[in-house]
Amino acid sequence: MRIFADNALHGRTLNPRDPALSAGGSSGGAGAAVATGIGPIAHGNDIGGSVRIPALYNGVVPAYNPSQQIPRAVGAQLMSVQGPLTRSLRDSRLALGSLCKRRLQ
């Protein structure tokens, strides 16, 4: 329920583009790690912005679902998101293909 990530052991997660800014909440460390190249893919889930806010704040790509037939209702879009954080759509497609155990066309 916060838009920043911190813990007692390591402290606050800093935004890799500007340490004076937040890296986002919950999945902020994952977003910052992907943005800095520590890893190409991080998985996250959220119900209030824990994937989308870090993706926005760190300049990475949140979940992408090319197979969805119709847009989700606004309530569903605002409340529940599962998916990878990546630096590119290409990496997002690879991650989703792996998560789905099939290759996305």
Positions annotated as catalytic residues are 26, 50
DSSP secondary structure string for all residues of 6-35: EETTTEEPBPSS-TTSB--SSSHHHHHHHH
Taking residue 7's Cβ as centre, other Cβ atoms within 10 Å add up to 9
Query: Are 92 and 55 spatial neighbours (Cβ–Cβ below 8 Å)?
Result: no
Query: Are 67 and 83 spatial neighbours (Cβ–Cβ below 8 Å)?
Result: no
The residue type at 5: A
